[in-house]
Structures are given as structure tokens and as C-alpha cells.
Amino acid sequence: YVRHAPALRNVIVRTPAFVAFASALWALLPVVVKTSLGRGAVSYGVLVGSLGLGGLIGAALLPGWRKRWSTDAITAVATAVFALGCAALAWVSNFAVLAGAMVIAGAGWLITISSLLLAAQRGAAGWVRGRALSISTLTLFGSLAIGAVIWGVVANRVGVAWALTAAAGGMVLGLGFIPRFRLAAAETLDLEPSHNWPDPVVAEELADEAGPVLVVVEYTIEPAQRAAFAAAARELLRPIRKRDGAVFWELFVDSANPQRCVECWLVESWTEHLRQHERTTRSDREVQDRVRRFTVGRERTTHYIALSPTGESTA
């Protein structure tokens, strides 16, 4: 589902682009306090508390900012702010100034992480939202853990200050992912079930485990529109079918009738196909309507169940 849901895939890409670099601050903060500042546990606690205070401020400001600016604009600013805090930790020796920088960095951290998690929640349909959020959370904490180890090694090689500077630069460079992997893509989705697929026609009772099931949708296409239809189907329909459980998808044209195109996809069982009917969303319906603009008349859907050697549908 993550692979074929663009809005959710954007979150999975953007999360390590920020967290893997941001982990440097969390990993190297105690080293800076002890070696660069020459202070102890109380000072470390004050800086961590400053990060937490910044998080509270960010949480208070974020609802108002979301009404005024896009999610991607907010996360871009928040990432830049956290990168600035990372650079400050590398080069600022005045403790009061550094504590203030940590407050700002804490706000940037909270705003960015909450925006990523909210985009993950918005980008997944209800039937898979829990598992999608698990993958998103796994990506976040995996990036944090792996990044911390890497920045520890880097700091040991080139020094703490330069490691933090490199991490800050990496976060800024990671902003280049925004135009292609937009978090705002999830905000335009309507993932409520559309229930617009008609019930499949069956001549006999089918076992829930019957399958595999081949679904064939026949379209009538004007020759001049065939290329546009094929491009639209591959770009728009294929991800939806694969996302909702298809293990195979392809588009074919009738060699004897160029106006007849069929879309075929394979699912593992009859139950899995019935679930596809339930998983179709209102946004999916809009996509299907866009593809239908290249067709003539209504499509016709046929279902084929795999046969066993005895001629019975397999289960």
C-alpha cells in the first residue's frame, strides 16, 4: 500500500530526509555539553528542557499557522530553524544564547515531526491507517537510531562541531525533496469509501478462498484517444489496483478490434476482490472519471476464477 499510495510514499521519503540529519543534535548534545562547554548534567538538563519548551511553543503556534500557510511551507521553515539550532550547537559557546537556540530548535522539531505524522494519517485510508502509521513511525525511529550512530562515527572522525555543521547542511539540502514529495498531497484526498462499484455478478456460490481472481474491464476507445487513455490508465489506475491488493496489472488492446481495450488485474482470492470494492475511495472515483473521458460508453467488467484440474473453482 505504501509503495503505491503517492501521498503516503511522500511521507516515507521526507521523514528520513529530515530525521536522519536531525538525529545529530540529539546524539551529540551531551558530548557538546561535556567537552565543548565544560558543563555537567544540570546544564544538559537545561538544554533538553529548552528543547521541550520550544516544542510546547511550536505546538501552540502550529494550528494557527496551518490556517495561513501550506504544510510544506511550514515544514520547510521548521526544518531550516532546526538546522540553525544544530549549527548553533556546533559553534555557540555562550550558554544563554545556546539555550535560546534550543528553544527555537525544539519548536522546529515538534512542528516538522507532527506535520509528517499528520500527513501519514491523512494519506492512508481507514482500513489500512493503523499499519500505515506503524510503517511511518518505524521509518521515523529507524532514521533516528541509524542517524545517531552515523553521526557519532562522523563526530569521532572529523570533530563534533563539523559533524553538527554537516548535519545542518544535510537538512537544508533535504528541502530539495519538497517539490517532488509534497506533504500537502494528502490534504486533497477524500479517502471515504465511495461504494460506486456495482456488486459482481456470479452464477454460483463462490468460496471466500476461491481464486486467484482475474478481473477484466473492457473499454471502448476511439483510435485517436488510445495513447492518451493508455497513459492515463497506467499513471492513474494501475497504482490504485496495486495499492488495493492486485498482484498483477496490465492493459491490452484487441488485435482484431483496435477500439477494444481491456484492463486486467489479478488478486489472490474472491474475498480479496470483494475487499477492493469496499476500499474504493471518493478520490479513486474522481480518478476513474478522469480516465473515462477517453472512452466511449460504459465499461463492462468480467470476473474469472481459477479452475482446478477437476473443473471446480480453486480454493
DSSP 42-77: HHHHHHHHHHHHHHHHHHHHHHHHHHHS-HHHHHHH
Mean pLDDT lowest among 17-21, 266-270, 307-311: 307-311
| SS3 assignment, position 281 | strand
Average pLDDT, the chain: 90
Q: Which three cell numbers stand for residue 156?
A: 569521532
Is 124 in a helix, a strand, or coil?
A: coil
Q: Is the pLDDT of residue 204 over 80?
A: no
The number of C-alpha atoms within 13 Å of 53 and in the hemisphere containing its C-beta is: 12
Q: Percent of the chain beyond pLDDT 70?
A: 97
When pLDDT is averaged across residues 57-61 and rounded to a whole number, the result is: 94
Query: For residues 30 and 19, what is the distance between their CA atoms, to the nearest angstrom?
Result: 18
Looking at residue 211, its pLDDT comes to: 76
Q: Return the pLDDT at 222.
A: 87
In this predicted structure, what is the pLDDT of residue 314?
57
What topology does CATH give the domain 6-188?
Growth Hormone; Chain: A; (1.20.1250)
Give the pLDDT confidence of 32-54 residue by residue, as tens digits: 999 988 899 999 999 999 999 99
Side-chain-facing half-sphere of 23: CA atoms under 13 Å: 23
The answer to whether 268 and 275 have CB atoms below 8 angstroms apart is no
Cα dihedral angle (309, 312, 314, 315), rounded to 10 degrees? Answer: -130
Mean pLDDT value across residues 111-140 = 91
Per-residue pLDDT averaged across 294-313, rounded?
A: 79
pLDDT of residue 313: 58
Packing angle of the helix pair 95-122, 6-31 (nearest 10 deg) = 160
Can you say whether residue 295 is alpha, beta or left, with left for phi > 0 and alpha for psi between -120 and 50 degrees?
beta
What residue spans of the chain are helical by DSSP H?
A: 6-31, 41-68, 71-91, 95-122, 129-158, 160-174, 226-232, 238-243, 270-279, 282-292
For residue 118, give the nearest of 73, 154, 71, 69 by alpha carbon.
71
User: pLDDT tens, 69-111?
Assistant: 999 999 999 999 999 999 999 999 899 999 999 999 999 999 9
Gap between the Cα atoms of 210 and 200, Å rounded:
14
CB 107 within 8 A of CB 61: yes
pLDDT of 273 reads 87
Q: Is 311 exposed, middle or buried (0-12, 13-18, 19+ CB in 10 A)?
A: exposed
At residue 33, the pLDDT reads 93
Q: Which of 1, 2, 6 is nearest to 187 (CA)?
A: 6
- How much is the pLDDT for 37? 86
Residue 274: per-residue pLDDT: 86
Give the span between the Cα atoms of 183 and 272, in whole angstroms.
30
Least confident interval from 187-191, 256-260, 265-269, 296-300: 187-191
Coil, strand, or helix at residue 94?
Answer: coil
The structural domains of the chain, with segments of one domain joined by +, span 6-188, 213-305
Q: Is 250 within 8 Å of 264 (Cβ atoms)?
A: yes
Residue in this structure with the C-alpha cell 572522525, named with its chain if needed: 157
pLDDT at 90: 92
Q: Which of 155, 152, 186 lies closest to 71 in space, CA to CA?
A: 186
Q: Please, which pLDDT band fits residue 279 given cuts at 50, 70 and 90?
A: confident
> Top-level CATH class of 213-305?
alpha beta
Please report, rounded to a whole number, the percentage of residues in the chain having pLDDT higher than 90: 59
- Whether residue 312 is predicted with pLDDT greater than 70 in this model: the reply is no
